[in-house]
Every structure is written in structure tokens, then in C-alpha cells.
A and B are shown apart, each in its own frame.
Chain A
Amino acid sequence: MPATIRARLFTPQDVCRWAIAPCLALGLAMGLTACAEAPPADDPEAVAEFKELNDPLEPTNRFFYVIYDRVDTYVLEPIARAYRNVVPVPVRTGVSNALSNLNTPVKLGNDILEGKPRRAGDTTMRFLINSTVGVLGVFDVATGWGYGKHDADFGLTLGHWGVPDGPYLFLPVVGPSGTRDLTGFAVDTVGDPFMWVGQGTAVKTLGWTRFYVDAINARERALDPVESIKKTALDPYATFRSLYRQYREGQLTKLRDDNRATVPVWFPQMAGQEINPPSR
């Protein structure tokens, strides 16, 4: 990293302006010229497949995938591997838990927007228990106490509201996404109170530390699956695209199916109604 950049510490806000915006502009500019070619209309099966893939910017996306893959192979993956080799498992788990605890405001906001009171309750209880008994979120005590983890972000919220996932996007820094999930990512980033709290070098340093540790932690957790996909897939780009879409759809199904009742335990229940069905 050049000294001029290091001298001035950025907040994650700046990341958007500094890294994502120019890349997006480049991507869009390329997108205007490099669109995926639609198959001929006399091959209905190929046309159906093309529509289902919903990847009109495929050449641009593949271009970014290649860059991402290089950066990953030479920078991210070695760092993640070193992190795995040097830091013992309990510490890594603690780091992961603490990061997830810091994400509470964003998660809670989305639980509420999704209209899932039980999930919002879980998130609140998890934060209260893990921040205190769990020592600033390092230990996940709440799961054992019946307040399990779940996923919530604005992309899922939009999906729950009926917004389709939209064309697939592969972006620098962000990785696999889609128009809906990219919107969600932007809203979550801007909506995170930690982004707006405090000023000065200390806060900026903390913000950056969180950003980097988050990235390394996420990459470490993905080491094995990514390695096996890169080894076994004939077209890793397409495999990641398929996996990403399916995984998001799976999260959405889980969210939709989580209709636990909010009635208190002592309230007379209808016969056969489960009071506390598991969230998983």
C-alpha cells in the first residue's frame, strides 16, 4: 500500500468511493459494449437456458472474476491460510463470533423490516447475552440458551418483499452478487450505525481493522469449499454463480418458512400448534 494512502486512514465509506465506484463505472462502461450474446431464437431450449441464467453482463462479470481470482490466489488466500496456521481454532471462533455480534444493528433492522418478530427477538437476546455473558461477543452463549443464529441482510429483506434477484453481477471487492443483493449491500453498509459513530484516527483505525479482519475471517471460513470448487469445476465462474444463487434462495426459503408464533408460552394454544419449533 503506498505511503500516501496509508497516511490517511479511510472509513469503509471511503472504500465505496475509492474502490467500488471506479470499478463499477468501468464495469458499466464495458457492459455497454460487452453484453452476453443471446442464442438464436430457433433454439428454444438454449433461449430458455439463457433467460434462466440471467447473466446479461457475463463477459464483464468474467473479466472481473479473472481479476478477483488472481488477487485471491496471490493475496487473499495466502493471508487466510497463514491466519489459519498461526491463529488457533478457539481464537478464530471468538473473532468470528465477535464480528457477528458487531453486525447486530444491521441484522435487527432487517429482521424488523422482514416482519419476523421472533427473529428480531433472537437477535436482541443474542446481543444482550453474548455482549455480557459472552464477553463482548467472543463466546456464543446464546445459541446454547435457545437463541440460535440466522441470516439477515437487506438483500434478503428485498427478496422477502418480492423483489427478484435480477441480473447476476460479479464485482471487485464484493464478489458474486446481483442487482438486488448489491442494492442490499449498499443499504446495509450505509445503514450500519458503526459507520456514522465517532470521528478521529482511533475510530477510523477500528473501522478499518474490522473491515480487514472481517475479510480475512470470511476467506478463512471459505478456504476448503473454494479450493475444492476450483479443483473440481470445469467452469468455476459458472459453478460459483450457480452456488451463489442457490445459497441465497436457500436463505430466503429459510426466512420465509420461519413463522414461529409470538404468543407467550402461557397463552392457551391451539391443539397441535408448536410453541417453540426450532428455527433451523
Chain B
Amino acid sequence: MLHRRAFLLLTSTFTMSGLLTGRMAAFAQGTDRATAFVKATGDKLVAVVNGPGTAEAKRRDLTTIIDAAIDVDGVGRFCLGRFWRQASPEQQKHYLELFHKVLVTSVTAKLGEYQGVKLTIGRTRQQEEEQIVSTVVERPNNPPTTVDWVITQPTSAPRIIDVVAEGTSLRITQRSDYAAYLQRNGNSIDALIGAMRQQAAQNI
């Protein structure tokens, strides 16, 4: 009897520890991959931003990198919040198309003006299903800025779903902007799409 209990205890301990190390290994692998991904993407962005090239060429290169690295559709759905479910498939399609345009132009316009950027990778931490990679961005004549990159891995390829600069999240800010616009325009998704269309036309 005692033997059996001891045996059970032993096997369960082994299975438990096996499971735990398995999980820990998966976690470590995930964070490593997230860190490597942010480093690779960050290096590419910095190379384009600091590189020679005309503003137009830079913008094109940045668009390619952003398209590959950011989960634009996911961010777009998040930014529409509860209105995503209320939107018709047609509206959803229009919205995402415009969101993509607006996001890419605003990000490339912002980055395109920078020069002499330095990116230092810091710690990576796990938060629920996401990994957050902390970095410090330094620019001449500017105090260093902490930028957190939120990474998700739904499939095998990691994608960026948020960029948090000094505690301010890109997608949360964008969502509150849209929410306020919708609230002041009778919760009309068509009105939002119209405003975004105007915005996209202005920026190009």
C-alpha cells in the first residue's frame, strides 16, 4: 500500500515537474522569439530611418516593414471596439482598408522625420497571451523614451499589436479617438468611415 502511494506520488511529481519545465521552456522560447523579432524589426526600421534615401523612398521601405510586422487588421478591430460587431461586413471591409492606409501614413510620416535614432532592447515580460518587449529609443536633443512593443503569436509568426511610448498606447489612444468621434456623430460607422476617407486623402 505504502509502496503504491509512494509510487503514485513520485510519478505525479515527475509529471508535474515535466509539465512545468515544458511550460517554462515554451515561455522562455516565446519571449526569446519576441525579443529577437523586435530586435530584427527595430534594426530594420532604424536602418531605413537613419539611412540616406529620399523621404519618398523611406516611406515606401517603412510601409513594407510595417505591413510585415504589425497585425494591422487586429489593431483595426481593436480600435473600433464594440462597434466592430455592429458593423456590416461591407463596413468592416471599408473600415479596415482605410485603417490600414491611415495607420501606415501616420506612422511613416512620424518616423520619416527622425534622424540619428538609436534603439536599445531591454527586458521582455509575459502578460497573459502577449509578450511585451521594452526598448529605449534615443534621438539627438531629446530625452530617451521608453517604448514597449506588444507582441502576439497567434500562429508561428510574431506580430506587433501595440506600441506603448512612455505609457501611452497607440491602439488605446486611437480607440478613444474613434469612440469619441462615433459618440458625437450618432454612433454612425458610416460617418467614421467618411472622416477616415477624408483623412487618408489629406495625408497622401
Residues of B within 8 A of A53 (CB): 176
The listed residue with most B CB atoms (<10 A of its CB), out of A45, A232, A239, A254, is A232
Binds B, one of A23-31, A110-118, A242-250: A242-250
Question: If the complex has contacts A234-B199, A280-B136, A280-B144, are A246 and B172 also in contact, measured as CB distance less than 8 A?
Answer: yes
- Whether, in the assembled complex, B3 has its beta carbon less than 8 Å from a beta carbon of chain A, the answer is no
Which residues of A lie under 8 Å from residue B63 when comparing CB positions? none
Chain B residues with Cβ under 8 A from A254's Cβ? 167
Q: Does A269 contact B (CB under 8 A)?
A: no
B82 lies within 8 A of chain A by Cβ: yes
Whether B184 and A242, one on each chain, are in contact in the complex, defined by CB atoms closer than 8 angstroms, is no
Residues of chain B with a CB closer than 8 A to A233's CB: 177
CA of A109 to CA of B170, assembled, Å: 33
CA distance A242 to B173 in the complex (A): 6
* A234 and B166 contact, CB distance less than 8 A: no
Q: A246 to B82, alpha carbons, bound, how many Å?
A: 21
Best-surrounded residue of A235, A237, A241 (most CB of chain B within 10 A) = A235
Q: C-beta contact mask, A218-253 vs B, less than 8 Å → 1, else 0?
A: 000000100010001111011101110011011101
Judge whether A49 is part of the interface by a CB distance below 8 angstroms.
yes
CB distance from A150 to the nearest CB of B (A): 11
Given known contacts A246-B169, A247-B166, A249-B167, is B136 in contact with A239 (CB within 8 Å)?
no
Determine the distance from Cα of A44 to Cα of B176 in the docked complex, in whole angstroms.
Answer: 17
Query: Contacts A238-B180, A239-B176 hold; do A246 and B110 have CB atoms under 8 A apart?
Result: no
Interface size class of A (residues with CB under 8 A): 20 to 34
Q: Are B195 and A241 in contact (CB under 8 A)?
A: no
Interface: A93 (CB within 8 A): yes
Instruction: Give Cα distance in the complex from A233 to B144, angstroms.
Output: 25
> In the complex, what residues of B have CB within 8 A of residue A243's CB?
168, 173
Q: Is A197 an interface residue (CB 8 A)?
A: no
Distance of A232 Cα from B202 Cα, bound (Å): 10
Residue in chain B with minimal CB distance to A44: B82
Q: Which of B168, B172, B179 counts the most chain A CB atoms within 10 A?
A: B168
The answer to whether B17 has its CB under 8 Å from any CB of chain A is no
Residues of chain A contacted by B168 (CB below 8 angstroms): 243, 246-247, 250
Interface residue ranges of B170-204 to A (CB < 8 Å): 172-173, 176-181, 184, 192, 195-196, 199, 203
B136–A234 contact, CB under 8 A?
no
Bound form: Cα–Cα A162–B171 in Å: 27
B176 touches A242 (CB 8 A): yes
> Hey, which chain A residues are within 8 Å of B176, CB to CB?
53, 238-239, 241-242
- B residues near A228, Cβ cutoff 8 Å: 106, 109-110
Residues of chain A contacted by B41 (CB below 8 angstroms): none
CB distance from B57 to the nearest CB of A (A): 22
Q: Is A235 a contact of B184 with CB atoms below 8 Å?
A: yes
Q: Are A235 and B141 in contact, with the CB atoms below 8 A?
A: no
| Known pairs A45-B82, A280-B136, A280-B144; A235 contacts B167 (CB<8 A) | no
Q: Say whether A239 contacts B177, CB under 8 Å.
A: yes
CA distance A102 to B50 in the complex (A): 36
Which partner residue on chain A sits nearest B134 by CB separation? A280
B146 within 8 A of A: yes
A16 to chain B, nearest CB (A): 29
Question: How long is the Cα–Cα vector from A233 to B106 in the complex, in angstroms?
Answer: 10
B140 nearest CB neighbor, chain A only = A89
Interface residues as binary, A104-143 with B (CB distance below 8 Å gives 1, 0 otherwise):
0000000000000000000000000000000000000000
Q: Kindly supply a per-residue 1/0 record for chain A positions 238-280, scoring 1 wherever the CB is within 8 Å of any chain B CB and 0 otherwise.
A: 1101110011011101100000000000000000000000001
Q: A-facing mask of B150-173, CB < 8 A → 1, else 0?
A: 000000000000000011110011
Q: Mark B100-132, 1 if CB is under 8 A from A, else 0.
A: 001000100110010000000000000000000
- 29 A-B Cβ contacts within 8 A? A45-B82, A228-B106, A228-B109, A232-B203, A233-B177, A234-B177, A234-B180, A234-B195, A234-B196, A235-B180, A235-B184, A237-B180, A238-B181, A239-B173, A239-B177, A241-B176, A242-B172, A242-B173, A242-B177, A243-B168, A243-B173, A246-B167, A247-B167, A247-B168, A250-B166, A254-B167, A280-B136, A280-B144, A280-B146
Query: Which 3 A-B pairs rank lowest in CB-CB distance, beginning with the nearest?
Result: A250-B167, A238-B180, A242-B176
